[in-house]
C-alpha cells in the first residue's frame, strides 16, 4: 500500500479518476495553499526552533517537523490525484434523462423516504453535502437508470428498493 493512500479515499484499481471542474479547482487550490502558505510558514517555525538549541525537547521543532511530513504527504497525494484526474463537466451531459457522472438524483425507497444525492468523483464527494462517490453502492445502483425505474439494492438493513423520481444536471455557466 502506498503511504499516500492515508490522505484520501482509495480509487478502485483500473478506474479513471473522474472529477468535476469545481472539484479539480478545490484540490488544486488546496495544493497551492499547502505549497505557498502553510509549508513556508512551518519551515520558518522549524528554522527558528532549530536555532534555539536542544531539539530533542523543543516542542515547536518536533511538532513543526511532524506537520511538515503531514503537509508533504498530502501534497504528494494531491499531486498524484490531480495528475491522473479526468475532468468531466456534468453541465455538458447531453443525455439528461439517464443517470451519469455529475447527476443530481432524487429517489424514494419502500418506506416512502425521499433522498437526493449528487454523484461525484471519489476525491470530491462529501456525504454531509449529499454527495456520493461514483463508486459508492448507491451510485453504482443508480447509474444509467431513468426516472421511474426501480432498483433493488442491498443495504446494511437488508434489501431495499428505490425508485428514481428526478434527475438533473448543473446548468452550463
8-state DSSP, 3 = G
Residue 5 pLDDT: 53
| CB contact at 8 A, 108 and 162 | yes
Sort strands 150-155 and 158-168 into parallel, antiparallel or unpaired.
antiparallel
Beta carbons within 10 angstroms of residue 144's beta carbon: 9
pLDDT digits (tens, 9 = 90+) for 83-138: 999 999 999 999 999 999 999 999 999 889 999 999 999 999 999 999 999 999 99
Dist. CA 124–CA 20, nearest whole Å: 8
Coil, helix or strand for 114? Answer: strand
Domains and CATH numbers, the chain: 3-87 (1.10.287.180), 90-168 (3.10.50.30)
- CA 52 vs. chain centroid, Å, equals 41
Q: Looking at 2-6, 68-72, 77-81, 153-157, which range is the least confident one?
A: 2-6
Cβ–Cβ under 8 Å, residues 110 and 133: no
Q: Which residues contact 89 (CB under 8 A, 6 or more apart)?
A: 20, 21, 102, 172
- pTM for this prediction: 0.84
Helices and strands per DSSP (H, E), number in the chain: 4, 7
Please state which of the ranges 10-19, 20-29, 63-72, 86-95 shows the lowest mean pLDDT: 10-19
Amino acid at each position: 500500500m502506498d503511504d499516500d493512500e492515508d490522505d484520501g479515499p482509495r480509487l478502485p484499481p483500473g478506474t479513471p479518476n473522474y472529477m468535476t471542474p469545481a472539484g479539480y479547482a478545490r484540490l488544486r487550490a488546496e495544493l497551492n495553499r499547502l505549497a505557498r502558505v502553510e509549508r513556508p510558514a512551518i519551515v520558518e517555525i522549524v528554522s527558528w526552533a532549530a536555532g534555539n538549541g536542544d531539539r530533542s525537547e523543543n516542542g515547536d521543532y518536533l511538532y513543526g517537523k511532524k506537520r511538515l511530513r503531514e503537509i508533504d504527504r498530502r501534497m504528494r497525494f494531491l499531486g498524484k490525484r490531480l495528475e491522473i484526474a479526468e475532468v468531466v463537466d456534468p453541465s455538458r451531459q447531453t443525455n439528461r434523462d439517464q443517470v451519469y457522472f455529475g447527476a443530481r438524483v432524487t429517489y424514494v425507497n419502500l418506506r416512502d423516504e425521499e433522498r437526493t444525492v449528487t454523484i461525484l468523483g471519489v476525491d470530491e464527494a462529501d456525504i454531509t453535502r449529499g454527495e456520493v462517490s461514483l463508486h459508492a453502492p448507491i451510485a453504482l445502483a443508480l447509474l444509467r437508470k431513468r426516472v421511474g425505474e426501480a432498483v433493488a439494492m442491498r443495504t446494511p438493513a437488508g434489501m431495499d428498493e428505490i425508485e428514481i423520481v428526478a434527475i438533473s444536471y448543473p446548468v452550463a455557466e
